[in-house]
A = this chain, B = another copy of it.
Amino acid sequence: MRKENISDAVIRRLPRYYRQLSELRAKGITRTSSLSLGREMGITASQIRQDFSCFGEFGQQGYGYHVRELCEEIGRILGVDRNHHLIVVGAGRLGQALMENFPFAKCGFTVDAAFDIAPGLIGSAVNGITVRAMDDITAWLRENPVDVVALTVPREAARPVSDRLIALGVRGFWNFTNLELSSEHPGVQFENIHFSDSLLTLSYRIANG
């Protein structure tokens, strides 16, 4: 499997392929083609074939793709079979919404705990996940290493909290704080979610659609 120099754009399409193939599987569809996937996803068939070719040979010329096999293969590339460990730092409304509703297990993640500084939240549980005191996070992480922190603290806390967590060994951040964080530390990955980017895209489309 070749995986060098794969562009960000290709990597960002992989979860979309995985999502679409999962939907096809759920509908009981067993075979598809780059043409049909492309139509469903608004991507050209040649783009799809080119994207897949970065990871080896998935389908057979003229026969298309086996949905389950392709879905599982892309899932493996994305790491959904790896059982990553995650904690939620910031157990306010957004953190709670994630714990309550987000399908972590389907993405290959287990949520081990949540952390907050609010006395009213500490000791409570959301969807079976205990909210712990931020003061205890150093000791906790020593015993329970995690792959990813879902960062749902207020924007002004984003930088100090992520710096502290990096110092504690955290290497992956799923960042909802609306502050663009980037890594000066080698090996630290930030995935920044900017809700505003998507609302502004919609705003543009309303005027120009």
The reply to whether B98 and A195 contact each other, CB–CB distance below 8 Å, is yes
A6 CB to nearest B CB, Å? 8
A202 CB to nearest B CB, Å? 4
The reply to whether A16 and B197 contact each other, CB–CB distance below 8 Å, is yes
Query: Which residue of the partner chain, among B180, B203, B205, contacts A19 with CB atoms under 8 Å?
Result: B180
Name which of A8, A15, A171, A187 has the most chain B CB atoms within 10 A of its CB: A15
CA–CA, A87 and B94, complex, Å: 18
A86 CB to nearest B CB, Å? 9
Q: Which residue of B lies closest to A183 (CB)?
A: B209
Does A200 have its Cβ within 8 Å of any Cβ on chain B?
A: yes
The interface residues of chain B lying within 8 Å CB-to-CB of A16 are: 194, 197
The reply to whether B194 and A19 contact each other, CB–CB distance below 8 Å, is yes
Query: Which residue of the partner chain, among B12, B172, B198, contacts A174 with CB atoms under 8 Å?
Result: B198
Complex interface bits, A1-26 against B, C-beta within 8 A gives 1, otherwise 0: 00100101101101110110001000
Q: How many residues of A contact B (CB 8 A)?
A: 62
CA–CA, A201 and B84, complex, Å: 13
The interface residues of chain B lying within 8 Å CB-to-CB of A162 are: none
Does A96 have its Cβ within 8 Å of any Cβ on chain B?
A: yes
The 9 lowest CB-CB distance pairs between A and B, nearest first, are A93-B97, A94-B97, A191-B202, A15-B200, A15-B197, A79-B203, A78-B200, A189-B205, A93-B96
Which A residues fall within an 8 A CB radius of B?
Answer: 3, 6, 8-9, 11-12, 14-16, 18-19, 23, 42, 77-80, 82, 84, 92-94, 96-98, 100-103, 106-109, 147-148, 154, 171-174, 178, 180, 187, 189, 191, 193-209
A-B contact pairs, 13 of them (CB 8 A): A19-B180, A19-B197, A79-B200, A92-B97, A93-B93, A94-B97, A94-B101, A103-B178, A107-B199, A189-B205, A189-B209, A191-B205, A193-B195
17 additional A-B residue pairs with CB within 8 Å, beyond A93-B94, A148-B206, A187-B209: A3-B208, A6-B208, A12-B197, A12-B201, A15-B198, A18-B200, A19-B180, A77-B204, A79-B207, A80-B203, A92-B97, A108-B203, A147-B206, A172-B205, A173-B202, A189-B202, A191-B199
